[in-house]
Amino acid sequence: MIKVVFLGFGNVNSHLFNTLNKSTEVSILQVFNRNQIRFNSPFENIPFTDDILRIVDADVYIIGIPDDAISSFSESLAFQNKLVVHTSGGAAMNTLSSKNRRGIFYPLQTFSKQRKVDFKNIPICIEAENPDDLQTLRKLGKTISENVVEISSEKRAKLHLAAVFVNNFVNHLYEIGGEILNEEGLPFDLLKPLIAETASKIKTLTPEEAQTGPAKRNDKKTIEKHLHLLADSPYTKLYELFTEQLNQKYGKEL
C-alpha cells in the first residue's frame, strides 16, 4: 500500500486524487490546501488540513500548485528526507527544496474541472533522485496508467513545450475557427467532425502523411482569397506564418 498526501488541490491534483483514490494499492491519507475544500460524496471522509504543521507521515507527497510557488512552498514544509514530488510539466526537479528527496510525477494531459479523464493511456512522466524513489513512483504510476515513463527534467521541459503547441495553440485555432463561423451565423458544430478526424488521423498516419490543404499544395488563388476574407483580422499574421511554413516544409515557393 502506497500512502499518499496531496499538497494543493488544483486541477491536476484533484484529477489525480479522484483516480488514485480508486486504486486498492493506494491510500490517500490527507489533503492539504491553503483554502478549505468541500469534498463531495464519496470523499467526505478524506482528512483535510489547511495547517502546514499538521501534515501527516506518508510515502509520497504530491505537490500540485503553480510553478512559481513550488520552490518556497516545498522549502516551508516542516518535515525532511521524505519523497516529495511535483506534477508540473514546466518546472525542473531541482525547483523543489533539497530538504526532502525530490521527484516528479507529471501526467501529460490537459485537465479541466468539468471533464472526467481516463488515466489508463495518459503518459505519467516520472523522475527521482534515487532508484528506490523512482521505483515507488513507477509503482504509483502503474496503479492508474499503462504508460509510465522515466523522463529527465531537461527532456520534460521540451515535452511540455511540445504539449503547448499541440494543446493550447491547437485549442486557440479551434477558437479562431469558431469565431470565423460565428461571424457568418454558422454553428461551431459544423467543424466538430473535421476537428475529430484531424486528431484521429494522426493515430495511424504521421502528421506529414495527414497534411492536406491550400498551403501544402501551394494553391495561391485560395490563399489569396483567404487573406482577402481575413482582411484586417488579427488572424491574418497567423494565416501567413502557417502558410509560409507549410510552403517551406512541402518544398514549394509562395
SS3 assignment, position 107: strand
List the interface residues with its own copies, window 11-30 (CB under 8 A).
11
Backbone angles phi, psi at 214, to 5 degrees: -60, -35
List the interface residues with its own copies, window 78-137 (CB under 8 A).
90, 108-112, 114-115, 117, 121-123
What distances in angstroms separate CA 186 from CA 182, 191, 194, 230, one per listed residue?
Answer: 5, 10, 15, 16
DSSP conformation class of 35 = S
Among 39, 43, 48, 242, binds its own copies (CB under 8 A): 242
252 binds its own copies (CB under 8 A): no
- Output the smallest distance, CB 170 to its own copies, in A: 5
- Output the smallest distance, CB 14 to its own copies, in A: 14
Question: Which region holds residue 46: left if phi is over 0, alpha if psi is between -120 and 50, else beta?
Answer: beta
- x/- letters, 188..227, toward its own copies (CB under 8 A): x-xxxxxxxxxxxxxxxxxxxxxxxxxxx--x-xx--xx-
Question: HSE of 155 in the Cβ direction (CA atoms, 13 Å)?
Answer: 10
Task: Using the rule CB under 8 A, give the single segment among 13-21, 39-47, 131-139, 187-195 that binds its own copies.
Answer: 187-195
- Output the smallest distance, CB 107 to its own copies, in A: 10
List the interface residues with its own copies, window 134-173 (CB under 8 A).
147, 149, 151, 154-155, 157-173
- Output the smallest distance, CB 19 to its own copies, in A: 14
List the interface residues with its own copies, window 30-69 (CB under 8 A).
66-68
Q: Which is nearer to its own copies, 27 or 233 (CB)?
A: 233
DSSP conformation class of 40 = P
Question: Which region holds residue 110: left if phi is over 0, alpha if psi is between -120 and 50, else beta?
Answer: beta
Closest residue by Cα to residue 67 from 88, 94, 97, 96: 88
